[in-house]
Structure 1
Amino acid sequence: MSVQTEQTTETAVRPQGSHHWVMTLDLPGRLSVTATNTFTPPPDWTREDAYTAIRNELARSNPDLARANVTFFALGSNQL
């Protein structure tokens, strides 16, 4: 007896934000973290607001990073 099955693969498309960012935080000699993601800021936000929110979010996930030096930060449109 032969049984045939049909497999379907649905690729879930993760929604992306309007902006893409990359941030590297460094605690010299202890820890260095580079993170990247996308988000859509509220209409009235500035680049400074985005920087602060991203840095605070990274520190929430790892409290040691609250004292880290920012060695790289990039924020730009997520459109090509």
Structure 2
Amino acid sequence: MSTLLAVIRPGGRTQRCDARCYDAHEAECKCVCGGLNHGAGLLVAHENTRRLHQEWLAAAHAKDPEILSIEIDLDAQGYVLF
């Protein structure tokens, strides 16, 4: 299961966007992506995460400023070429 984005909070609480979200078939989503990747499939979820991860992290930080760290999948990161 590939985790595209994870937000680690104090006490070991982690909110992540992973296959439970982008491969989901049920309606409910409590993911860091806010539901945009929900049921979208891996390829679309990678593109969404690449484009929107900074916004999602800003929203997560606004809700909980004590975020300890974040992790983003290398394939979901944009590559700057100069």
TM range (shorter): 0.3 to 0.5
TM (norm. structure 1) is: 0.36
Higher strand residue share:
1
Higher helix residue share:
2
